[in-house]
Amino acid sequence: MITSNRTPKYLLIFGFILLLMCGFITFTMNQPLQSADPPSPAATTFTDMTSADPDSSFANYLFKKGIIDTLADGGFHPSEPLTRAQAAVFIVKATGLSVDSALTIPFSDVSETHWAKDYIATAANALYVSGFPDGSYHPDEQLTRAQAISLILRLSKQPITGAKLPTSLTDINSSHWATPSIAIGIASSMVRIIDGDKQYLPDSPITRIDFAHALGTFLTQAPDLYTAALEGKLKPLEGNTTVLSTGSQREIEIIIGNEITVKAGDIIKTGVKSSAEINYPDGSRMLLEENTQLTVAEFKGRKYVKADGNEGIAIDWLDTKLKQGTVFYALATKHETTKTPPSAENQKTGLNKLSNQLLASLGGWDLFAAAAQQQAPWYVANKDKKVKIKVDMPWGVASIRGTFVKITVLPNGQSIVNCLTGDVQVTSGGVTITLGENQSTQITQEGSPPTSITSDSSGEVQYFVSEKSWINQTAQIIDQNQETLIDPPTIPPPTTVEVIDDAFSNQNNIGQSDKNEGNNYNGHGNNSPNGNDNSGVNGNGNSNNSGSSSNNGNDNSSSNGNGSSNANGNGNGNSNGNGNSNGHGHDK
């Protein structure tokens, strides 16, 4: 009998398929995360609008809030003028007033049979409308653009002073009765200038969609109207996670697979080889690594309009205290990319105007309130990124504007702050510095200022890469819950996913630069409260012993040794390195 040594054909085929699968998986894992293809314009609540129509999200938002309804044909008729009677209905519903049919109608021209008489009487009783000097209301006449913005601004207790009309306007000046309201409406993007920034057309009728835009914007921009309860959900990922609540005598272990709502004052601890995350409605998240103790001191939420017209709740203020361990903060912000920290010229409002000592000493809401008093006026405040997360560390404070920031506190009190994207201010020893994309700093002892800004070390880069799946997932969730743009730019801004991909690409450049300069970093021990410090805080780091990776030898930013982040050297801390730091009268 002849025995064949040939491999059976089915094994060859199986092996070939296996090789193809491995190659595909390897290729897929090394590809940057891509945003989903933009969806084709979808139908909205109204038959005459799609999601591609300007301001459709605001019309949908008001519909879902019960403020507006479809017309008889199922449409919204966005380009049609709005009548004064319709405006009264919108205002009553927006404020949640109960319609009282027993109220006396205060206007001579609103009959008992008028379809909107009860709404008009309710709005007048609440002093939102008062008609014209002759005692009339003109319910079926068109609401003018001047009357519209004046009416909407009455819904809030916010001041209507301080704003100035754009100098380019040719059809209105400071003598117009509605100038203060129009100036705020333009500054806040509630209303728009027409004809190449030259005209506001105050006496022209406002369209239904322009009124929806103005009202929807105002309801989510005025501080006394946008406040909402903020709910964070704690979810253990692995190992042991406990919570000690205010007033409780014992810690409660949260079983994996369960989640609880975080309350103000909760102290959250993770054990050895344990991790947990806290998730917020806008996509913001916190990832707690092992051996971490974090206190969620207080928090406040803010309503906003999502792109699909649903109402979202975003972090408006979150005060945390990190006693020990590592927390990766992901803060949802408006579409943005920050590769360099704000310039000194831009750091003139909010927290930047507070003295460093005040910043470090104020706690929680006191800090937020102090900043609010000095930041930009309310009608433009939400156009700028502001500090939304405060992190108290043993010897300093981190103030996060966005978007991905990692903070580690070692058992001896030393802190390391790394910014992947966005920006974060770090204050200690009476000094405040601002980190941008792929930058880091340390607080090495009590009372000392933060160390000089450096590019993230190879060890930190490796940490971010190790958490890339969580980062990418978070970026996608943030994009899915993104706030609609009130005044969209001509060129769409980058998505959070695109910003993350860009940051990781820049990290690759950092890593290549490290290799070219001869640095030899290993791991990221400083990310673990019990690990070795590879960044030169407590030891010699992993640079060569002779210090040849630095033009000037030893690391001047190291507390006790020869780290590799010398501010004047050729390593990551090189300040000249890869550039990453780098008509009828007025209606009263």
**Bridge partners, residue 327, by sequence:** 288, 407
DSSP string over 492-540: PPPPHHHHHHHHHHHHHHHHHHHHHTT------GGGSTTS---SSSSS-
Q: Report how far residue 165's alpha carbon sits from residue 186's, in angstroms, rounded to the nearest whole number.
A: 8
Q: Would you state the pLDDT for residue 98?
A: 96
Going from the first residue of the chain to its last (588 residues), give the mean pLDDT of each consecutive group of 10, the final group possibly shorter: 49 54 45 41 75 90 95 94 97 96 96 97 96 96 98 94 92 95 95 88 97 97 95 97 92 96 97 98 97 97 94 97 98 63 38 42 46 69 84 97 95 96 95 95 97 89 91 95 85 89 79 48 41 41 40 41 40 40 42
The three-state secondary structure class of 449 is coil
Nearest to 460 by CA among 476, 437, 443: 437
Q: Are 208 and 81 in contact (CB under 8 A)?
A: yes
Q: What is the pTM of this model?
A: 0.76
Nearest to 137 by CA among 120, 151, 122, 153: 120
Q: Would you state the pLDDT for residue 442?
A: 97
Tell me the C-alpha to C-alpha distance, in Å, between residue 59 and each of 129, 135, 206.
23, 32, 15
Q: Are 190 and 160 in contact (CB under 8 A)?
A: no
Q: Would you state the pLDDT for residue 341?
A: 42
Q: Would you state the pLDDT for residue 402?
A: 86
Q: Would you state the pLDDT for residue 13?
A: 57
Residue entry with tokens 């070795």: 532
Residue type, 435: L
Non-local CB neighbours of 495 within 8 Å, separated by 6+ positions = 35, 335, 475, 479, 482
